[in-house]
Structure 1
Amino acid sequence: MQHCEQTLMFTDIVGYSRLMGRNESLAVEMLGDYRKILLSHIEAQGGQLVEFVGDAIFARFDTAASAVAAAIAIQQHLLAFNEARDKRLPRLQTRIGLNKGEVMLRDGAVFGDSVNIAARLEPLAVADGICISQSVYDEVRFSLSAPAKRLGAHTLKNIQQKVRVYLIKPAGIGWRDHLHYFLCGLNRKIVAYRYPIAATILALIAAGIYFIPRWLVPGYAANYVEIADFKNLMNEKGDADYFSAGITEAVRSQLADMREVYIVDAKEGIHAPIRLEGSVQKLGDNLRIAYRLFRRKDNVQIAGGKLDGTYQDIFILQDRLVGEIARYLADEFKLQNFRPAPLRLTNDITAYDFYLKGLDFLEKATTHENVDEAIKSLNTSLVHDSKFPLAYTGLCKAYWKKYEITNSSGWLSSAEKYCLTAVGFDPNLSEAYKALGAIYRDTGRFEKAIEIFIKAGLLNQHDASIKVLLASTYSMSGDKGKSERLFLDALEQDPKNWKSYFGYAFFLTKIGRHSEAIEYYNKTLEFLPENINALNNLAASYVYLNDNEKAVEIFERAAALDPSSYIFANIGTMYYFLKNFEKSALFYNKAHVLEPTNYQWMAFLGDAYKFMPNKKYLADNFFNSVIKYAYEDIDRNKNVATSYLYLARAYAYFNDFSNANQMIQMADNLGGHGLEFYYSGLRVAVLEGDDQKISEYTKYLLETEYSASVLLSDPDFSVLQGKKYEGLFKN
């Protein structure tokens, strides 16, 4: 293995997947032209091809200068190619990402975080563009022959440090490119704060999609069962511990094999019509497992019982437990009797015990200490049973967490190795395939991820979460058409499964089809009305359609189920835009009570009180508190732009425009001009009466999701309704 510094290039054809769907023969022909053009310039600059990845090319160069020269030559060649091409044919365009850094070379393969950074930079480029990292820019900045634009510091997936990014575009950087990166800045600055309504909503949506495998399960229109964590009666608090949690997971896993029965994890706060509760009691080697199955409505018990045995009989007891519960569920739902497959995890009870301990540490916060303890327990499990596939799967997940913490490629290799070892011992272990597919997906190796998820789906054709993972991976890879077809196929195959409805609704939200998204969020809620994320995302869709009153109604339903500070702040925001400041302050105050040191909520309260008669003193108090707590935040971390932007708003409220503008400049210096930045800049400019800045910031906001109607409904921007600014709102 050789360690050296290289400049890495990733490329991708714009719209290739879409073209493949329309005209496969033309797409293949264009791919041949594309590879011929790229390879000629890569070789001309002394570069080496590492591999073809579908329509993408991965190459390496000894110097940044040669890589940039090749990239510019490629884009110029493609421009000339398209000029000479029949205008009725689609244009052949590419995006290119370049990064310079330390790598490891082994048998023609290239490893290291520098590879991941280069791969992450490529999708940031516009068509005909080249995105380069700071390390590349520093080497070529004085010799560049093409226009360049600073894009600011970006957070790249699985990369610990932010990466400063620059755009090179030989054809010239036009207004559309500037607008594109302005809009992209919104997604990088998404937060659930009041001033940008759209940003508030997107944050909720992002949370929703993240928790798809665990949240938002329907229950009343289909056969849904929630399973609470079994309690350990030997625990002083009666809480679940690693052993009782392991029994709970085994019960969930076996019952999930029942056709037409959908299992819900009760600790996520979702209520299904049928609930299973249980407990575990262990005295020496003696073991008792008790359970109670009941209907939530009127608390009607369906069944209950106790199973006694020794600790060595744990697998037999679990099989008996699941068999009894499955029989009662089949009777309750009028289904064919189901006999679950016996649970044969390992023949060594000690290996099983250490495996459960390892899983317990993996469920805790992702810290070096917890992950190291998980690895220790899982390795001890393998000492007792070296062929225990679930223990290898656990190690795969543990080393992936190490990679997430450190971004060291060594941990990534270990994670992949242990997942592959797991499926080597058990080729039917879908859990290992899902973990491995997630690794490939989150490191940008979409083709491998798709291959693995397809294998997992063949092993467990009734697991809708695998279909959602596969469809989402196609979407991330840019193949929206394939993604949508998979969602629709899943809905047709299993029309009572929440995961497909919610996943498809989120997909529609991401591509801007909000009315259709509303339809599918509502279908999710038909299965389970008490579905927090579906309610939040539904409200989000109504905000996008500028129906604030409907959004208020739905947010209030969500708050009744989950009274969190963010939901209360969102309700306050809706009332604020409806100019009902008393109600707005009421809900902002609820958020503030839950998070008394959150200066965003303080600013929102100050905004509401400043419009209320005889309450200006409260506005003064809250904005003074904003200044105090924002500076405390800066003392902890000087690189968070939000702190400076809230300081700017507070200073502007007190007419201290010198300090307000200084704070705006501090935020500007941190890079990245998202909605947050322009909104705060407009707030300061309006209070200062700076017409030029008002026009400038308003234009930026109107070029985003911030529609004219939403902007004009903001009480802080009533000045924009004057004749002076009419021209800003004309199409």
Structure 2
Amino acid sequence: MRKMVRYVHSGADQAYSDEFLRAMSEMASPAATGGISGSHPGTHQRKLAAILFADVVGYSRLMGEDETATYDALQQLRRGIDPIIASHAGRIVSTAGDGLLADFGSIVDALSCAVAMQQAARDLNAASPPDRHLQLRIGVNLGDVIIADDNDLYGDGINIAARLQAIAAPGGICLSHTVYEQVKNKLALDYRPLGRHRVKNIAEPVRVYAVGATAPAAARLFARWRELIAVAVAGTAIVAGLVVVVVSRSPDQSSAVRAATPQPAVATLAVPARLAERTPVAVLPFKNLSPDTGQDFFVDGITEDIINALGRFSNLLVSAKSAGFQLKGRDVSPEEAGRALDVRYLVDGSVRRAGDRLRITVKLTEAATGIHLWSDTYNAELKDIFAVQDQITERIVGLTAVNLTRLERERVSRKPTANLAAYEYVLRGHADLTNPTRSANHEAQTLFQSAIELDPNYAAAYAALGFAHHEAVVSGWTEFPDDEIARAEALAKKAQALDPATIRAYLLLANIGLYRRDYDRALAQVDHALAINPSDVECYQMRGNILQWSGKATEALPWLEGALRLGSSSPVALVNIGFAKYFLSQYDGAIDALDRALARSPGRVSQLNLHAVLAAAYARVGKQQDAERERGVIARLAPFFDAERFAAQFGTKVAREDMLAGLKAAGFR
């Protein structure tokens, strides 16, 4: 049986090894089709096949931790899914290790089988601890393939299915656009566009869709719209047309953006030449070696604290948390990680917590050579966690030959709180905020308030609570948005008064300024934050957002691209790059950026923004069918979308007229 090569992680995407890709290319080459040595093309039998490609997430890590248990679990999984394939009239073409390739005569059968396989995997995982789950990624494609003499399959159709599998989230399924067109009216699933993805050895980008077995997202969103409308009719301050939160503000609230006057050092931070002068470092997610897997939030919090501490040194360029966390649970070499994250040094380690005792192991590695420059183990009590973090930070900074200013040393030595319970409440609250639901937001607010009650001088807790109130406004979860924004502003100012170095307080005020269209004040706040932490990816993103919305697209681009350089995984930077390029008449670039943003699963508000501008961009380049498709998405997501109100939110008359013209060209009225 042919050996199937597993995926290895490389940056934001996963990719096959070069050896495998060469083999795949050879399969579809003239040699594979009889085009060499006198054979004529087409001598091998071909067919149109529905291809399913499945792979187990993190299999190498699981085997390294417990080879026997992982092998037994994989066999149990195979005993569960092999009959499912057979029951859907599928044929297993080849398997090796944790991979599986199957073909079907019907694309409906193939996708139905993929959904059933994922459900079977979830059922089997229910009895296992989370760190021992065998999660599947599945890719489904419909394409022309070559049938070999041994009934194996070759060709681009297989390659694309394999790539789709790599794009899928753990426990998820990804489809090509060809599959989507065939099944969208036949299987009632939740289809979510992920934009175009380039596939190695395939000339044209592949449009990708994620699929789930829940009620369609559009239907859920429409239900939410009806709820908002009902609230509005009842006389609340929420407007029915919540397409973009800032749309509901009247144009006279806008302030013209005067010449920004940030400190010179801050104003040029995003200039590529300045970025290149700084030593690039990434902190990989520390491993949780505690018996309690529920301590992941605590370990992730330590990782983030170290990232934030290192980011305050002006000579370091520290990758965002989201960049390093793409590699969580993956077995990659230092060279691969360094190349994927574009850094010179890597910091990684582990944490074991038992009661109030901690053991933290940390090492610094030169990415290009894999040489460990330093490693150490710290055994400490929980109350000493911040002192340990200081020691780790100082050691890393010293070994990377960074020259420190006195102010930087003072900033990094500040302790957030002396109350460890309050610290844990804030960490748990941040974890809740990653789940964008009203109930999670409420739970986060409760946790942040508890932290404040335990330590009334904990500045970060006030800023975090303020962000939760702000999120409730922009997500439409409150009947009194003005009151919530005022509450968020008061909390941000309280955090600043307690600790003027609280970056999140400045970022919150910048968000509030953007909400109110007070662009000058928003820029001033984000510049204060950048002066404190010149590597903060949210600050780069926010500064670019403010400039873009205020009509300064050219100035916005370096900041938004800088956010991507630092490893932002948020789709917001790409959305705003798409907007900026639209206003600069770079329509193809806008389409590319917005497609890439779709691949990062943007939130509801970003999606509505994104599809509207994507429609306008397609219309500008004469792709009316694509523009019509995007207009259809908007009609499903926002039945009350108003092109004039959408265009009115941009900061200059030229930008407003440009956007409105594009939307009308796309068919909006």
Higher helix share: 1
The alignment's TM-score, normalised by the length of structure 1, stands at 0.39
Greater relative CO (CA pairs within 8 A, separation 6+) = 2
Query: TM-score, normalising length from structure 2?
Result: 0.42
